[in-house]
Amino acid sequence: MKNINSWLLGVFIIVAIFVIVEGYIQYNNTTQNAKTQTQNLSLMLEKKIQSDFDQIDSVLSFAESIYLKLPKEHRDFKNADKKQQQHIVSKRVKALVDSFEIIERINFIDKDGQLVFSSDSIFEDISVADRPHFQKLKNDKKFRDEFILELNTKKREGIINKNFNNLFSENVI
C-alpha cells in the first residue's frame, strides 16, 4: 500500500510539475505574442499618423502654391477688389478641401490674426487674434511676423498651422 501511495504521489508530482511548466511556457508565449502584436499595432499607428501629417503638410503647401500662383494664372486677380479676391481664392482652395475627406476648411490668417482668405465663402472680417491657439503662435518667436494657414479637420478637434514667410508681401498681391 505504501508503494502504491508513493507511486501515486510521485506520478501526481510529475504531472503537477508538467502542468506548471506547460502553463509557464504558454504564459510566456502569450505575453510574447501580445508584445509583438502591440509593437506591430504601434508601428502601424505611427505610420498612419505620419502619413496623415505628410498629407496635411502637402495640402497646406498646395494651398500656399494655389495662392502664390493666382496673380500669374488669374488675369483679374491683381485688379480685383478684396471681396473678389476672396471669392477667387475661396473657389480654388474649396476644390482642394473637397478632395480630402478629413479636411473641413483652410483659412489664411495674417500675422495680426485677421482672416484674409478661407476655403469657406467667408467674406466678413473675422479675427482669431484673441484665440488661445493664435496667441500661442504669436508668442512663439519663429511665427511672430509670418502668415499662417489654418487647417480645420472634420474628425478631430484642433487646428494645424503652417507658417509661410512673407506670403502676402507686396510683390505677390
Q: What separation in angstroms does the CA of 45 have from each of 27, 50, 51, 52, 167?
A: 27, 8, 10, 10, 34
Give residue-wise pLDDT tens across range 39-57. Answer: 999 999 999 888 888 887 8
pLDDT at 15: 94
The distance in angstroms from the start CA to the end CA of the chain is 106
Residue 23 pLDDT > 70? yes
Q: Which residues contact 90 (CB under 8 A, 6 or more apart)?
A: 117, 118, 119, 120, 121, 122
Residue 37 is predicted with a pLDDT of: 96
Q: Give the tens place of pLDDT for each residue, 67-96.
A: 778 777 877 887 888 788 888 888 888 888
Q: What is residue 97's predicted lDDT score, i.e. its pLDDT?
A: 82
CB atoms within 10 A of CB 48: 10
- CA 42 from centroid of its chain's CA atoms: 16
State whether residue 106 is helix, strand or coil: strand
Predicted pLDDT of residue 173: 35
Vertex 112, ends 111 and 115: CA angle to 5°?
90
User: How much is the pLDDT for 166?
Assistant: 40
CB 111 within 8 A of CB 145: yes
**pLDDT tens track for 131-166:** 887 777 777 766 655 566 666 666 554 555 554 444
Is 109 or 169 the better-scoring residue by pLDDT? 109
pLDDT exceeds cutoff 90 at 31: yes
Position with higher pLDDT, 138 vs 23: 23
Task: Return d(Cα 27, Cα 167) in angstroms, integer.
Answer: 60
Matching residue, cell 507511486: 7
**What sign results for the dihedral spanned by CA atoms 123, 148, 135, 132?**
positive
Question: Which among 2-11, 34-43, 55-64, 109-118 has the top mean pLDDT?
Answer: 34-43
pLDDT at 111 over 70: yes
**Would you state the pLDDT for residue 34?**
96
Strand 103-109, strand 115-118: pairing: antiparallel
Confirm if 161 and 148 have CB atoms less than 8 A apart. yes
pLDDT of 171 > 60? The answer is no
Ranges 99-103, 140-144, 169-173, most confident: 99-103
